Amino acid sequence: MKLLMTALLAVIASPALAASGPFVSLANTDFIVLISFLIFVGILVYLKVPGKIGEMLDARAVGIKSELDEARALREEAKTLLASYERKQKEVQEQADRIVASAKDEAAKAAATAKEDIVSSVARRLAGAEEQIAAAQAAAIKDIRNQAVTVAIGAAKDIIAKQADAKSTDALIDDAIAQVGAKLH
């Protein structure tokens, strides 16, 4: 219908009126073009080309609409996946932070334990060294006393040997035997 109106307006248009001679004549090229155009439009309308073009455009619009709907659905799915991955990333980051904090705590505890072990080891070694020093000191004192006793006995023996004669030696032996006999009974 629109095409028919367009054709009618084309006939009324000023170039058609500008032609010389009678308009309705086979010698007038404008009239021949008009008739050909109207026949062409009539054939198009008879073959229902405008309806088919409309159907094709409608089908194309439906296809575009379905593609847009599919694109929206894919976009929503992508948003959901993105949110899921962001949550997972956040959870993994929190877990990593907890692991790092736990490792720091364990390292601090291990350092404290090692420090305590070192302190106790040093204390044990000091105590052992002090015991060895005390034992060495006691042994040295005992050796010195034994040497002093040996020297004193030797000196006493020398003095007694120089001052003693046979009579005083016999008296000392008798006195020693009496003391031993008194102590044994």
Least confident of 5-14, 47-56, 57-66, 103-112: 5-14
- 120-155 pLDDT, tens digit per residue, is 999 899 999 899 998 989 888 988 888 887 887 777
Q: What is the pLDDT of residue 178?
A: 81
Q: What is the pLDDT of residue 15?
A: 54
Q: What is the pLDDT of residue 73?
A: 96
Q: What is the mean pLDDT of residues 3-7?
A: 66
Could you give the CA distance from residue 77 to residue 84 in angstroms, rounded to a whole number? Answer: 10
Residues 6+ apart with CB under 8 A from 41: 3, 4, 7
Q: What is the pLDDT of residue 18?
A: 53
Residues 6+ apart with CB under 8 A from 155: none
Burial of 34 (0-12, 13-18, 19+ CB in 10 A): middle
- pTM over cut 0.85: no
Q: What is the pLDDT of residue 179?
A: 80
Q: What is the mean pLDDT of residues 35-41?
A: 94
14-19: long-range pairs with CB below 8 Å, 24+: none
Q: What is the DSSP letter of 164?
A: -
Model confidence at 13, pLDDT cuts 50, 70, 90, reads low
Q: What is the pLDDT of residue 171?
A: 77
